[in-house]
Structure 1
Amino acid sequence: MGKRKLFTDEQVDMANNINILEYARQAGYPIEQISPKEFKIPKQGGLRIDGNGHRWNCFSTKTGGGPIQFVMYMEKKSWVEAVKQLLGLSATLDSAQSLYRPPQKPEVEKGELVLPEKNNTYKHVFAYLINTRKIDKDIVSFMVKQKKLYENSHRSCVFVGYDQDGVAKYASVRSTNTMGSSYRGDVANSDKTWAFRMDGTSDTIRVFEAPIDALSYATFFKQYGIENHDHMLALGCLGDVALEQYLKDHPEIKQIIFCVDNDKWGHQAVERWTDKYKSDYSIAHHFPKGKDWNEDLISFFKEMESREVDLELDQAEEAEL
């Protein structure tokens, strides 16, 4: 007999649709409006809340999400505690009901995705991904050939996701700046359902947060001489809408390996997803040693270079004897 769920689907849906702005105001957080479509909470490392109160993000910690993640972040609660807090199960349900805002159709329909203008070169993207991020050049070239990666007119990386008909539906931009501030974010009208992926032929899918982490993991496979046949998906966040779609389109998949960031948010997401998918799939996780897989990849090459230097010094000393 399966484990009894702590919350009904309706309760989780209610918690996910509580207005973040209203909750923050009632919780006593100072709210400042910075534009018609954006608010902020001062002294929180660039924490921004969308004008509709549905989503938030924090630039300094590179985190964000919906109301549940907001409570987890601001009040240092677990996912279960945050849901209870939002629903008012620890006190009364009335407070949650007063904040609940049923999902509504957007006033303006989502427009068509327009991909950023292409640059007439790929040199900045290649230099950044290969030299700075240490991703294998053949893997980068293959992504370019598949039109899943290109350089825009601002010299940034553009990672593209396509639907089942081969139509671009998602694009995320990552600045190639190595000094000063850098930008990363989704292109307007992107649909995360079709986030960046690397299709495979096995019955296993590996799930990442960002495209660069997926490419880094693929580089590790190549470094260790392992042929990679697994499907690889970069969610672009810690929401699993892209995974739901991918599993629907690939019934041959039997195993999910979560390879998200090694931080509080990544661990909590894996716990949540394990409970969600374990009845239909074999579930495993593989966290990086550092924060993410690219950090591990860069550290790997630094260690390799250090070993080569030590070997050269040893050989030089032996030659002098």
Structure 2
Amino acid sequence: MAYIKPEILKKVKQVDLLTYLLNYQPDRLKKISHNTYCIRDHDSLHISNGLWNWQSMGIGGKSALDFLIKVDNYTFLEAANIIAENINVKAPEYVPYSEKERDKKLQIPQRAKTDQNAIDYLLSRGISFNIIKHCIDHYLLYENEYFSPSTNKVYQNVAFIGWDKKTNKPRHIALRGINQDFIGDATGSDKRYSFCIESSNPDCDTVHINEAPIDVLSQATLFEQDNKEFNHEHILSLTGIYAPRNDTKEIKIPLALQQFLIDHPKIKNIIFHLDLDKVGRQATALIIEIMKLKLPEYTCYDDPPKYYKDTNDNLCMRLGIAKVKSRSKMDNKEYTR
């Protein structure tokens, strides 16, 4: 088939990878924990919470279509037709992602012997060593090490930890690849408790909102660059955002922000620094709109990066640091926890 109808393609794109494999290729799946699977022919490719990540290759996604193209090397049309033919033979039974999943136990990724690779990586992104040391000392980040039997290689990630203030336990860990373009969450992560640098002032009434943990560190570094205490105000990561489909206005207040406001009742001002792209701009406008409607007691401000995509880009350009892929490690004294 050289052409696929739009209505069929729409159905194809709705099929997530776990649903596809459970329905049509169950022999490829291996369950490794409560709600996490790996692929038997690629053991470093994990499926959890509706998403898949192939850590050793630094790629991931949600849909079965993406998987067939990126992993099984089909063309777009070939992959779409494979899924469409399977759907035509047997309608898929979708896998529900229960609200109870947010209460499952967080699996802490293995810590490396030192945090040196993480430190070097963050320094290469322009982050202040003073802020990195603060985060390591307060167990807000560390270096995660992962060995892949399929490639016989060791991969490192920076692990950014989000804490539950009531229980004083880690509840969310965002992972960012050091030597590959991997981004993901540790199994069992609860997005209500995202990475945050809290203010040193117990009466602080302002929180700065960024998309990614690296942007939180960048925001803190920019404060330091402006001769302010890096933690004079709260800085929170949403660990990613999304834009509503079909240009609708259906969007929710991010879970991390909702929880933060519960845990910090003195907050009055919320300053958004989301990305300077279509998704970031659209999400900011809609979140502020719904905040005014549902939580009018807060004053919201939109303060995006002025010229570059995100807060870290702004910091790097300010420091004269090249783009990530061409950056080299900076000299510093070894620091281990």
TM-score higher than 0.5: yes
Tell me which of 281, 287, 296 is aligned to 2:304.
287
Task: Identify if the C-alpha distance between structure 1 residues 220 and 276 changes in structure 2 by more than 3 Å, giving closer, same or farther.
Answer: same
Aligned residues: 228
The amino acid of 2:18's aligned partner reads P
Task: Identify if the C-alpha distance between structure 1 residues 27 and 143 changes in structure 2 by more than 3 Å, giving closer, same or farther.
Answer: same
2:236 aligned residue? 233
* Separation in 1, partners of 2:321, 2:18: 49
2:182 aligned residue? 183
* Kept in 2: contact 1:38–1:51 (CA 8 A): no
Tell me which of 110, 113, 127 is aligned to 1:120.
113
1:12 aligned residue? none
Q: What SS does structure 2 have at the residue aligned with 1:118?
A: coil
The amino acid of 1:190's aligned partner reads S
Shift of 1:241: 0.4
The amino acid of 1:215's aligned partner reads L
Shift of 1:249: 1.4
The amino acid of 1:280's aligned partner reads E
* Kept in 1: contact 2:141–2:160 (CA 8 A): yes
Task: Identify if the C-alpha distance between structure 1 residues 63 and 270 changes in structure 2 by more than 3 Å, giving closer, same or farther.
Answer: farther
Gaps of at least 5 residues in structure 1 are 1-23, 40-49, 66-100, 305-321
The amino acid of 2:131's aligned partner reads I
2:196 aligned residue? 197
The amino acid of 2:236's aligned partner reads L
TM-score, normalisation: structure 2: 0.60
Is 1:302 matched up with 2:320? Answer: yes
Shift of 1:105: 3.5
Report matched runs for 1:141-220 at 5 Å: 141-154=133-146, 155-164=156-165, 165-177=167-179, 181-200=180-199, 201=201, 202-220=204-222
2:269 aligned residue? 255
Shift of 1:26: 5.4
TM-score, normalisation: structure 1: 0.63
Gaps of at least 5 residues in structure 2 are 1-5, 22-46, 54-58, 63-93, 147-155, 242-252, 323-337
2:325 aligned residue? none
* Separation in 1, partners of 2:254, 2:312: 21
1:90 aligned residue? none
Alignment identity in percent? 32
* Separation in 2, partners of 1:109, 1:251: 23
The amino acid of 1:265's aligned partner reads V
* Separation in 2, partners of 1:245, 1:33: 31
For residues 92-119 of structure 1, give each alpha carbon's deviation from its aligned partner in whole angstroms, at most 9, with x where no partner exists: xxxxxxxxx9x87379886311111111
* Separation in 1, partners of 2:108, 2:311: 27
Task: Identify if the C-alpha distance between structure 1 residues 27 and 127 changes in structure 2 by more than 3 Å, giving closer, same or farther.
Answer: same
* Separation in 1, partners of 2:132, 2:145: 19
Q: What SS does structure 1 have at the residue aligned with 2:104?
A: coil
1:246 aligned residue? 260
Q: What SS does structure 1 have at the residue aligned with 2:300?
A: strand
The amino acid of 2:262's aligned partner reads K
Q: What SS does structure 2 have at the residue aligned with 1:246?
A: helix
Task: Identify if the C-alpha distance between structure 1 residues 229 and 173 changes in structure 2 by more than 3 Å, giving closer, same or farther.
Answer: same
Task: Identify if the C-alpha distance between structure 1 residues 256 and 211 changes in structure 2 by more than 3 Å, giving closer, same or farther.
Answer: same
The amino acid of 1:234's aligned partner reads S
Tell me which of 279, 282, 285 is aligned to 1:268.
282
Q: What SS does structure 1 have at the residue aligned with 2:320?
A: helix
* Separation in 2, partners of 1:55, 1:35: 8
Q: Larger relative CO (CA 8 A, sep 6+): 1 or 2?
A: 2
* Kept in 2: contact 1:37–1:51 (CA 8 A): no
Shift of 1:28: 3.9
RMSD: 3.5
* Kept in 2: contact 1:25–1:31 (CA 8 A): no
Q: Which sits farther off after the overlay, 232-241 or 140-149?
A: 232-241
The amino acid of 1:299's aligned partner reads M
